[in-house]
A and B are shown apart, each in its own frame.
Chain A
Amino acid sequence: MELFRSVDGRLPVVLELLRSPWIVRASDIARPEDAGAGKRIDEIIAIAWDSRRCCPSAFEWRSRTYRIDAIVQTWAVERRWWEPGRRVSRRCWRVLARGGTYDIAFDRLEGTWALLGVLD
């Protein structure tokens, strides 16, 4: 289902999402009880890559394919690189898919994709 027909149509929704104080990043949620409306997942997923736009176009989680309708935001994480066991090196995308908001990330160290969390 095409949620947005054009970029212009998508932008107000995205901006609204960004402004919404109830949105937290699932990847920031440390304890399940703090999750509120969000849920931390952290499971390996497979993705389809849109090389033209340089971003994921769909991901497969628990045998179900989620076509990405819009990229809400992207960010990168690089922490504690000097401690091999604790290093985090990720490129993250917050995406809209199947009516939900998902945080997916590429782990640069492992070379794998993961679903970090779901925001309802």
Chain B
Amino acid sequence: MSDGFVHLHVHSHFSFMDGASSLDALVARAVEFGMPALALTDHQGLYGALRFYRLAQDAGLRPILGAEVTVEAVGHRGVESDLPPAQRLESSPGVGFGRAAGRGFHLTLLVKNRLGYQNLCQLLSSTHVRSAHEPSTVTYEDLARLSEGLIGLSGCSAGEVGASVLARQPARARTAASRLAQCFAHGDFYIELMHLLTPGSPRYISSLVALADDLDLPVVATNDVHYVERDGFRVHDVLASAGAKMHLPGPYDRENGELWLKTATEMRTLFAGLERACDATLEIAERCELDLGLGEFHFPSADIPRGETSYSVLSKLAWRGVEERYRPMTPEAVGRLQHELAVIQDLGFPEYFLVVREIVEFAKSQGIRCSGRGSAGDSIVTYALGITDADPIRHDLLFERFLNPARRQMPDIDVDFDSRRRDEVIDFIYKRFGSEHVAMVATVNTMTARSAVRTVARAFGYPISEVNAFSRHLPWVGARKLPEVLESYPECRSHPLRDPEHALVVELAQELDSCPMHLGTHLGGFIITREAIDTWMPLQWAAKGVVVSQYDKDDVEALGLVKMDILGLRTHSAISDAIEIARDRVGAENVPEPFDLEPDDPAVYDLLSRADTVGMFQLESSGQRNLSQRLKASEFEDIIAQISLFRPGPLEAEMITPFIRRRHGVESVSVPHPGMVRPLRDTYGIIVYQEQVLLVAKAVAGFDLAEADSLRRAMTKGRSRQEMQNIREHFLDRAVERGVELGVAQEVFRQLEGFAAYGFNKAHAACFAVVSYATAWLKTYYPAELAASIMNNEPMGFYSPRHILNDARAHDIEIRAPHVNESRARYTVTSDGSGIRVGLKDAHEMTARLLETIPREREIREFKDLADFLRRTQASAPATQSLIRIGALDGLGVTDMGRPPTRDEMLVLLPELKSVLSREGIAGDDVLVLAPGPVREPEDPGHVSGWSTARRLSAELEYLGLTLTCHPLALAEQDLQARGVISARELSGMRDGSRVTVCGVRERAQTPRTRSGKRTCFLTLEDSTGLLDVVVFEDALKRYGDVIVKHRSYLIKGKLQNNTERGLAIVADTIEPYIIRAKGGDPVRLRRGVASGPMGPSLGGAGAPEEESWVAAEK
């Protein structure tokens, strides 16, 4: 008899809210226990299967894939409720995630081989995708049809066999067991025994053993593992309770916590006298020998005409494209294209390029703006095929950074499409490749400190107000850091979780750090396969109504399948809109396509160097504006550098300051080896781009580019000291062989080592720079069109819509208030281009129907008064209230006082009008005889609204999120003057080092990573003249962090930094909240219009793809 044991029923975090162990912990513990194999059987899917497979293989453990599914009743045919109450089996709580959640009896399935894997994927897919709304339950027919290659275990006590035994219904247990056994090949169905150390366990086991013996079925022991550690039951209970939206003890109310990964000895002790049940685990493990064949590639089929090959088609298209792109054709382009095509052919990737090209070609043919991004920009083939737009030869972009012939790795071509029209591209993909070959990629959403705290608090039964109080003001950090955050972060100074009474909440929340919470849908990732996709992976419905894979992008890549990122970029939508508006206004012939422009317009660079970049793609964030002032871009290469420098890597490596110093001649440019001069000439001897690492390694050590890229990757990835030493020696040997002095080679290597991990992919920056230049050009020549288009495509970019309009106003563009007789749903530009009319779409409570009705009715005739508006639009009371409050009905109608009604009068009249209209169906003008009830006297009789400026402004902020009347701080001008406050406009003229007092409304607060690990907050504020950038270093942050988080406008005293090296910013000493009051003392309510809250991480930027945006991060 063997003394080993293999756990065959194991749940991980990927049982979503019903598993408390990470895959790493499970694998590590199984290895520690010397187990030869381990199974993963998460509820209803294979969500973690690929990760587990790779982890286990790497650890020398045999991975057994499987799932615990819910199946329909087989011991009783028909509906359970048809049975007499005494014979009904207790239904177990639903399991599984989202629309893959199932109700039914549990059954454990294990994969024996590749066929079994395919069958399990199909079984799960067919179960989940069959209906988006009914519980996912495996049918007996599907199970019988798709059980080949699978081993079935009868399941836990929620399985039909176990549940029948517990309910003392031996006949039903017998029928269920024998019918289930019939679904599987002989010897592939086992009666599953669990000894969970409850008083009923011995009886449960002995009954099951008797049943198995009677039916001549084998038995197998499992422990229904839900956590690794003995005390993991607490986290498991919390997850299960939160998942079932219940309070503790949750849906299972178990008698004990015995579901941990026990040792072989512990399991064999539990099953003393039943050694065969433990031996069976080893036998099953031996029989499960799945090989997923990772490392191979599987491309979808491209459209290849008869008599052609994928290579021949690609080659023809590429040559034709190069001829169009390079006029005249250069020998360099010819040589490079030949080289790239040969490599692509050698690696077997032509079909992939053709598929991407086909999608891009479709988009272009439909006028859908798109652009490639990422390292694909390093290729002349993608440039020739029209996938990317930056010239790889002109910008020194290296193919080997994209496709390294020495490393056969799936190429990754990401393309951004006009966000608004992305669905058309997606439709094309489904039609072209067939819906059975396409699915969206999943993302796994994991818990942060906030979600972990909420999960625990909900399970503990705290009221929602308390749950909100617990999670509010917690920064975006991992749950593991909670104690540190609560202890040291100033914004948490008075946080309720600091109370020792809640110590258990904090402790458990910590344990939920990075725990997968639910499956999401990747914003743009599509998997396209040649074979039916459900033979590769399980599919299910996503909440948003699309079919999504259970695998994420890394899993898909590991399987060698093609994943295409069809990303939506709102900047593309804004550019297209701006051009359309401009062409309508000045004629199509007068507005060129900005992507086709030669990027050398001095007026555009003048705008950039003035840091007037709000609305520009990738160049508008506070950090980028600061960099713009320092860099003073004058050519396209500068834009590429600017995009690259303000990235986490280069920021962490503090590359910006030496770059700026050298650019302006403050510091001399020197390189240790003459071979570095050319590769580093555009960056003043500093390694900024990954491509430069390759060029330097080639120049100094004679590496070929493929070898150099391997060196770069080795230096970039987390490597041990020994590995790094080996790389170093290899580099030095090669350099010395070429006659380079050892000291010089050492210095070059030191620089490579220092920067390789931080360098940015130049191709990515170059692709973005094309879009950045287009937005910069539009801002230079069509600022109103660009601003209106940005407003029409919000949310996008770094700034709030409020600031986008304020910035437009600062450029002498008149902002016209919304009005039902003037505005459309969207923002429009006046015929002379000097003004923007605010659209109605941003007003609260507006519906699509109302937005469509208002302009349509207005075309018939203008609205003459409130009653006329209500009668013709059937607008709801809340929507009308909102329109009244923002002034969109100002000036309509005449009261018996011979003037238009004030907003107060309209608000009082509104319910009466609505009531008359609803009683009489369509009321006539007679409703005008209604006299408004008593209202307060107009605060400002001189204004048609009757409201004071402060009140109008508060309403705009609250109901529109904008400041149209004026900037809030403009109302407090006198007070600010009295306090000696300096405006944003005045700052640039002040001396570096001056003491200043500024006041601003919060736009953004960020705390990006810093190399030192110290916490610094970058605060972007807005006053009535522009933006203020405030740096709050750690000591000030400790004192004023809570003020930043809890308030929306601040009075800040500090030291002005105004020099070429560091740019313009205020280093804060003191920060106070500032309540904005108008002359009469009326406060301006910023509440809804200005966001407050925790200091976010450094994410996004103008036009950043949605998944990187601030909004996405907040979700």
Contacts and interface: CB of A to CB of B under 8 A. Distances in A.
Contacts of B309: none
A82 B198 contact: no
B233 interface: yes
A18 interface: yes
Contacts of B198: 75-76
Contacts of A73: 199, 202
19 contacts: A7-B273, A73-B202, A74-B197, A75-B197, A75-B198, A75-B199, A75-B201, A75-B255, A76-B198, A76-B256, A77-B255, A77-B256, A78-B256, A79-B255, A80-B249, A81-B233, A81-B237, A81-B257, A82-B248
A54 interface: yes
Contacts of A25: 199
Contacts of A81: 233-234, 237, 257
B269 A54 contact: yes
Contacts of B233: 78, 81
Contacts of A7: 273
Nearest to A53: B269
Interface in B190-226: 197-199, 201-203, 206
A75 B248 CA distance: 22
Nearest to B266: A54
Interface centre among A73, A74, A78, A80 (most CB of B within 10 A): A78
Contacts of B256: 75-79
Given A75-B197, A77-B255, A78-B257, A18 B202 contact: yes
A38 to B, nearest CB: 14
Interface string A80-93: 11100000000000
Nearest to A92: B199
B258 interface: yes
Nearest to A7: B273
A54 B206 CA distance: 22
A2 to B, nearest CB: 20
A15 B237 CA distance: 33
Interface in B228-261: 233-234, 237, 248-249, 254-258
A12 to B, nearest CB: 13
Interface in A1-54: 7, 15, 18, 25, 54
Contacts of A15: 206
A51 to B, nearest CB: 13
Nearest to B258: A76
B166 to A, nearest CB: 15
B256 to A, nearest CB: 4
A77 B249 CA distance: 14
A19 to B, nearest CB: 8
Nearest to B199: A75
B927 interface: no
A25 B206 CA distance: 19
A77 B201 CA distance: 13
Contacts of A76: 197-198, 255-258
Nearest to A14: B202
B255 A82 contact: no
Nearest to B265: A54
A25 B202 CA distance: 14
Given A18-B203, A80-B249, 16 more contacts: A18-B202, A54-B269, A73-B202, A74-B197, A76-B198, A76-B256, A77-B255, A78-B254, A78-B255, A78-B257, A79-B249, A79-B255, A81-B234, A82-B234, A82-B460, A82-B504
Nearest to B459: A82
A82 B257 CA distance: 13
Contacts of B254: 78
Contacts of B206: 15
A6 to B, nearest CB: 13
Nearest to A77: B256
A74 B256 CA distance: 12
Contacts of B197: 74-76
Give the 8 A-B CB pairs with smallest separation, nearest first.
A76-B256, A78-B256, A76-B197, A78-B257, A75-B199, A82-B248, A75-B197, A77-B256
Nearest to A72: B202
A7 B272 CA distance: 11
A96 to B, nearest CB: 15
A31 B273 CA distance: 37
Interface in A70-120: 73-82
A95 to B, nearest CB: 14
B239 to A, nearest CB: 13
Nearest to B257: A78
A103 to B, nearest CB: 10
A77 B206 CA distance: 21
B146 to A, nearest CB: 38
A54 B248 CA distance: 32
Interface string B277-297: 000000000000000000000
A10 B206 CA distance: 16
B695 to A, nearest CB: 60
B232 to A, nearest CB: 12
B432 to A, nearest CB: 54
Interface centre among B197, B199, B202, B255 (most CB of A within 10 A): B199
B366 to A, nearest CB: 58
Contacts of B258: 76
A75 B256 CA distance: 9
Nearest to B456: A82
Nearest to B231: A81
A118 B237 CA distance: 32
Nearest to A19: B203
A27 to B, nearest CB: 9
B267 to A, nearest CB: 13
A88 to B, nearest CB: 10
B500 to A, nearest CB: 12
Nearest to A55: B269
Interface centre among B233, B255, B273 (most CB of A within 10 A): B255
Interface string B458-474: 00100000000000000
Contacts of B255: 75-79
B491 to A, nearest CB: 28
A16 B81 CA distance: 35
B455 to A, nearest CB: 13
A29 B793 CA distance: 68
A79 B258 CA distance: 12
A75 B195 CA distance: 10
A54 B265 CA distance: 11
Interface centre among B201, B206, B256, B258 (most CB of A within 10 A): B256
A108 to B, nearest CB: 10
Contacts of B249: 79-80
Contacts of A78: 233, 254-257
A90 to B, nearest CB: 9
Contacts of A79: 249, 255-256
Nearest to A74: B197
Contacts of A75: 197-199, 201, 255-256
B762 to A, nearest CB: 54
Contacts of A54: 269
B324 to A, nearest CB: 69
Nearest to B238: A82
Contacts of A74: 197
B235 to A, nearest CB: 11
A82 B237 CA distance: 10
B919 to A, nearest CB: 56
Contacts of B202: 18, 73
A78 B233 CA distance: 9
Contacts of A18: 202-203
Interface centre among B202, B258, B273 (most CB of A within 10 A): B202
A76 B255 CA distance: 8
A18 B257 CA distance: 23
Contacts of A82: 234, 237, 248, 460, 504
A30 to B, nearest CB: 16
A18 B234 CA distance: 31
